[in-house]
Amino acid sequence: MELTKLQQAYSKLVFLCDANTKIHCLPFFADFVAKYKIAIIEVEAGEGNKNLGAVKLIWEAMINLELDRSALLLNLGGGMLSDLGGFAASCYKRGIDFVNIPTTFLSQIDASFGGKTAINLGSTKNQIGSFVSPVNVLVCPLFLKTLADRETKNGFAEAFKHALIADRNYWDFLLDLNIFDFNRLDWKPIILLSFNIKMKIVNLDPKEEGIRKLLNFGHTLGHAFEAFANRKTEGSLSHGEAVAAGIICESYISMRLLNFPASAMDDICRRFNHFFDKLDFIDEKNTPAFFDLMRHDKKNQKGKINFSLIEEIGKARFDCEVSDELIKESIQYYSELN
Ligand SMILES: NC(=O)c1ccc[n+]([C@@H]2O[C@H](COP(=O)([O-])OP(=O)(O)OC[C@H]3O[C@@H](n4cnc5c(N)ncnc54)[C@H](O)[C@@H]3O)[C@@H](O)[C@H]2O)c1
Ligand SMILES: [Zn+2]
């Protein structure tokens, strides 16, 4: 219904899919695609394709399809696809509208809204991008049925993050939830709670000049771990897996710097230990490489590495300066966890 309205409002609609969402998600729209002869642009799946090469492919396809400025791009996929498609749309003919139809848990609770698009350049993450919002986001938990368990877990890292920075009740709710039985999970409350936390923060600070930085909790070290692991084998570590490890390290820093309670630290470690695999490359030996990668972080100012940290569960603080020593200590803490 929603799509039919969009079809009437725009000169042309085009789906952007990756190889997996074309198989698993596009069939939901088969009648619509056939009825209106909707064109489809396909890119390869995976974070390694969130790059300039894929953007070029999309722009060339758009030109071949003779899309004008009143065309609409429908990004059908996870966060990689909405970041990539949103970025491509934001530059094509100086910007056309796009709608996100998120198909992974992570993108339904986080990546598909909030007004940021990005691609990766070399080994650095999300360094090229734009602040631009989709005209609409269509969320349907049904897509999650075909998602691999690893990808579902990946999304939970962001849900835990939302709870830790802003909502103690949500954290308790997530601790009580039987999140191992994904087939029986009621996704709606999780999607709504996470959406509300992120949007409340984004609305206060759309361009990340202040409070929006709170959403980067777990990401300063998390992005470094992600970039490091994917240097050799792209896709070997997902965003959420890296962020989960980042959350543990940055909670430890919070404990040492802001008196974040040790008992809450134990809760985080216990929950994450059951849920995410421990990453064995996070150790002293690789610490210099993590520092190199962190120095590229967009959150840095005047060469200093800035962190968002938690004072207690549900309460966070941004622009925290942390010494190199304490960062190293947090990596050591992680590496010694059982
Ligand atoms: N813009 C933002 O605000 C924001 C926020 C958080 C994360 N991100 C970005 O999001 C990306 C991670 O997103 P992601 O975890 O959704 O990864 P993803 O988009 O790469 O999807 C993960 C895998 O699942 C497959 N897939 C997607 N939907 C499926 C479905 N319904 N059934 C079966 N397979 C399916 C994909 O093809 C891919 O192989 C990162 O690039 C990260 O930087 C952006
Ligand atoms: Zn993230």
Looking at residue 232, its pLDDT comes to: 72
Looking at residue 181, its pLDDT comes to: 79
Ligand 2 centroid, distance to 2 Cα (angstroms): 28
Q: Report how far residue 295's alpha carbon sits from residue 179's, in angstroms, rounded to the nearest whole number.
A: 35
pLDDT in tens, 122-166: 877 788 999 999 999 999 999 999 999 999 999 999 999 999 999
Q: 106, 112, 225: which to mutate for ligand 1, most atoms within 8 A of CB? A: 106
Rounded (10°) CA dihedral 282, 171, 264, 321 = 60
Ligand 2 centroid, distance to 22 Cα (angstroms): 24
Looking at residue 234, its pLDDT comes to: 67
Strands 71-77 and 12-18: parallel
Ligand 1 centroid, distance to 137 Cα (angstroms): 15
Helix (H) or strand (E) holding 89: helix 79-91
Beta bridge partners of residue 33, listed in sequence order = none
Confidence of residue 301 (pLDDT cuts 50, 70, 90): low
Ligand 2 centroid, distance to 201 Cα (angstroms): 15
- Give the ligand at the shortest distance from the Cα of 152: 1
Looking at residue 182, its pLDDT comes to: 83
Looking at residue 302, its pLDDT comes to: 67
What's CA 118's distance to the chain center, in Å? 11
The predicted model scores a pTM of 0.93
- Give the ligand at the shortest distance from the Cα of 83: 1
- Give the ligand at the shortest distance from the Cα of 18: 1
Ligand 1 centroid, distance to 60 Cα (angstroms): 23
> What tokens appear for 248 in the block?
């543990």
Q: 24, 107, 123: which to mutate for ligand 1, most atoms within 8 A of CB? A: 107
Residues at CB less than 6 angstroms from ligand 1: 18, 20-21, 24-25, 45-47, 50, 77-81, 83, 103-104, 106-107, 110-111, 114, 116, 126, 143, 146-147, 151, 154, 238-239
Do 321 and 304 meet the contact criterion of CB atoms below 8 Å apart?
A: yes
What's CA 96's distance to the chain center, in Å? 23
Ligand 1 centroid, distance to 240 Cα (angstroms): 10
pLDDT in tens, 95-107: 999 999 999 999 9
As a whole number, mean pLDDT of residues 300-306 equals 74
Q: Report how far residue 285's alpha carbon sits from residue 262's, in angstroms, rounded to the nearest whole number.
A: 27
Confidence of residue 329 (pLDDT cuts 50, 70, 90): very high
Q: What is the 3 state secondary structure string of 50-74?
A: CCHHHHHHHHHHHHHCCCCCCEEEE
Looking at residue 292, its pLDDT comes to: 92
- Give the ligand at the shortest distance from the Cα of 126: 1
Q: Which atom of ligand 1 is nearest to the CA of 126?
A: 43
> Going by CA atoms, what residue is nearest to atom 25 of ligand 1?
20
User: 86: left (phi > 0), else alpha (psi -120 to 50), else beta?
Assistant: alpha
> Going by CA atoms, what residue is nearest to atom 5 of ligand 1?
111
pLDDT in tens, 8-38: 999 999 999 999 999 999 999 999 999 999 9
Res. 298: pLDDT tops 80: no
Determine the Cα angle at 54 with ends 51 and 60, to 5°. Answer: 140
Q: 20, 124, 234: which to mutate for ligand 1, most atoms within 8 A of CB? A: 20
Ligand 2 centroid, distance to 70 Cα (angstroms): 31
> Going by CA atoms, what residue is nearest to atom 33 of ligand 1?
147
Name the phi and psi angles at 203, rounded to 5: -65, -30
Looking at residue 176, its pLDDT comes to: 85
Q: Compute CA distances 299 → 100, 204, 238, 274, whole Å.
A: 26, 18, 21, 30
Res. 65: pLDDT tops 80: yes
Mean pLDDT estimate for the chain: 94
> Helix axis angle, 219-229 relative to 324-335, nearest 10°?
60
> Going by CA atoms, what residue is nearest to atom 44 of ligand 1?
111
Res. 316: pLDDT tops 80: yes
Looking at residue 123, its pLDDT comes to: 74
**216: which DSSP letter?**
G
Res. 299: pLDDT tops 70: no
pLDDT in tens, 181-212: 788 889 999 999 999 999 999 999 999 999 99
- Give the ligand at the shortest distance from the Cα of 147: 1
